[in-house]
Amino acid sequence: MNLAELKKLIEMFDNSDVARLSLKQSDFEIKLDKQPGCAQSIPLVQPQTVVVEPLNLAQTPPAVPSNTSENKKGDFITSPMVGTFYRCPSPDSAPYVNVGDTIKKGQTIGIIEAMKIMNEIEAEYDCKILSIEVNDSQPVEFGSKLIKVEKI
């Protein structure tokens, strides 16, 4: 199974009503399990096993896809590093920010886990959240658009 197929499988699982999925194909195995609240669990990677716990969209407001917000004025808060983006400080907590929130310079907007270190991502200026461009527990690259904002 290649990376594109894996991403498509996870996306289809995330958008379905299925709560648990296990797939084994020769020397590759993946187990998907939806948990209530924000998915803060760090995926466990072993030589032939991948465990992924996607976000349960019933508890956390969904990220607004970037194509629906393209015609609005705004700037982006981007990822300063490669890692995994988390919207919540812990599985039982509310997200740091939601669409429509007004935030101050220095306020935490999320966490990026890189090399087993949790790095808080802060707003660089006072702004209003227009859309959230990435989902919880989604891998991001340097410069990835995390949140679309309007400077205040």
For the chain, the domains span 3-52, 66-151
Cβ atoms of 54 and 35 closer than 8 Å: no
pLDDT digits (tens, 9 = 90+) for 60-70: 555 555 444 44
pLDDT band at 24 (very low <50, low <70, confident <90, very high): confident
Cβ atoms of 79 and 112 closer than 8 Å: yes
Q: How high is the pLDDT of residue 88?
A: 92
pTM over 0.75: no
- Counted residue by residue, the chain has a size of 152
| Spatial CA neighbour of 89 closest among 63, 60, 48 | 60
Q: For 53-82, what is the mean pLDDT?
A: 62
Q: For 24-44, what is the mean pLDDT?
A: 63
Which residues contact residue 6 at a Cβ distance below 8 angstroms, ignoring those fewer than 6 apart? 30
Q: For 13-42, what is the mean pLDDT?
A: 70
Strand pairing class (75-78; 49-52): unpaired
66-151: CATH architecture: Beta Barrel (2.40)
Q: How high is the pLDDT of residue 22?
A: 79
Q: How high is the pLDDT of residue 67?
A: 46
Q: For 37-65, what is the mean pLDDT?
A: 50
Structure tokens of 144?
């990835």
| CA atoms within 13 A of residue 150's CA, in its CB half-sphere | 12
Q: Which string of b and e fits 98-133 if b means at least 16 CB within 10 Å?
A: ebeeebeeeeebbbbbeeeeeeebbbeeebebbbbb
Cα–Cα dist 137/53, whole Å: 8
